[in-house]
Amino acid sequence: MEIIPAIDMIDAKCVRLTLGDFNQKKVYNEDPLEVAKEFEDNGIKRLHLVDLDGAKSGKIVNYKTLEKIASKTKLIIDFGGGLNSNEDLQIAFNSGAEMVTGGSIAVKNREVFTRWLSEFGAERIILGADVRNNKIAIKGWLEEADVTIDELITSYQPNGISKVICTDISKDGAMKGPSFELYERLQQQFPQQKFIASGGVTVLNDVIKLKEMNMHGVIIGKAIYEQTIKIKDLVDL
């Protein structure tokens, strides 16, 4: 299982939101590069980098920070937030992202997202499925789309989608454990998909249980910053 620490950015700072609420923001570090280097120094290989300013505004904003982390670490970065055009995608890849996560665009512009899958392949284009009450949320979770997670995944299966980052918004940043039931149901319904759990991971046992469930990966944010999970324990799994 891939262990993927997360850095969420607002104003080029490392932050975490609670339940996706921009009004419940906590700044953990003024310099995301410093955080990324600490991950790398502890043996981490992957990074989930989210441009919350981009998600809110609808276009990539914090690409300079992506560029800095990509050029000064060897972390394999997947980048999300504000990717709503071909130009945004090129900026992300040119700035050093190995993969991108498309959430809003997968809902609002199926034609473009399908073209990305065809052109760059399912290993580089990840479907971001952010869920609130089984409905997909978009634009930095500020809007709810009229589509369920099941419908979204089903719609992209003919296009060869492989990796799906599934975030239960009701769990994200709440430090009350992940949505195990949701992931179990999705795995049973879509056994061919590579699901990456996101939201609610609080203690090491949460990660162990997700590994036992054969999840493809797990994204961990607040638990690392609040030190309820130690990075070295993650690397040892």
Q: Give catalytic residue positions.
A: 8, 130
3-state secondary structure of 55: helix
- Alpha carbons 2 and 196: distance in angstroms, whole number: 8
Residue in the block written with tokens 């493809």: 216
For residue 31, the tally of other CB atoms under 10 A from its CB is 13
Contacts of 96 (CB under 8 A, 6+ apart): 66, 67, 69, 70, 71, 77
Burial of residue 126 (number of CB atoms within 10 Å: 0-12, 13-18, 19+): buried
Q: Which residue in 231, 225, 227, 169 sits closest to 200, CA to CA? A: 169
Amino acid code (one letter) for 191: P
The amino acid at residue 195 is F
In residues, how long is the chain?
Answer: 237
Question: Cα torsion for 65, 177, 22, 228, to the nearest 10°?
Answer: -60
> Rounded CA gap, 192 and 117, in Å?
17
Indicate the angle between helix axes 86-94 and 63-72, nearest 10 degrees.
30
